[in-house]
Amino acid sequence: MLIDKKQSKELSDKQKTFLSTLFGEAQGDPKAAAELAGYSPTSYPKVVQGLKDEILERAESVLAAHSPKAAISMANAIDDDGSIPGANIRMEAAKQVLDRVGLVKKEKIDINAKVAHGIFILPPKEA
């Protein structure tokens, strides 16, 4: 019998509110999300530590959801005439999003080895 390593733990309503707020109204600010969810202002590090796996899972989902936009932005930059300010910054951000979701530039390595076959004649061993 296979055991699922990733057992989904039951989250409290407060924890669910924290996660929703963290990726919504708080715009990624854990301290603000904790306060909006009803936690004390100093307890947010413990809340973050307790929800680390769920936070990472949601962050990965956010990046995956924005990867099409990043890919299209990079493709549109090909036709850009350079008049849009900050285009380089947006291109770098798009590249970072795509890197994080696993779409990286592929490198091809050409390995050609020339092997010289030959016979080596060694001097006789001295006894």
φ/ψ (deg, to 5) at 18: -60, -50
- Identify whether 97 is part of a domain: yes
| pLDDT of the residue at 5 | 42
- Identify whether 20 is part of a domain: yes
**Model pTM above 0.75:** no
| pLDDT of the residue at 19 | 94
- Identify whether 6 is part of a domain: no
Residue at token pair 């990286």: 104
| pLDDT of the residue at 8 | 59
| pLDDT of the residue at 45 | 93
Which residue range is the domain that position 80 belongs to? Answer: 64-103
Q: What is the mean pLDDT of each run of 10 residues along the chain (127 residues)?
A: 52 93 93 93 92 92 89 81 76 85 73 73 82
**Structure token digits, residue 85:** 């300010």
- Identify whether 26 is part of a domain: yes
Indicate the number of domains in the chain. 2
| pLDDT of the residue at 26 | 93
Cα first-last separation, the chain? 66
- Identify whether 119 is part of a domain: no
- Identify whether 21 is part of a domain: yes
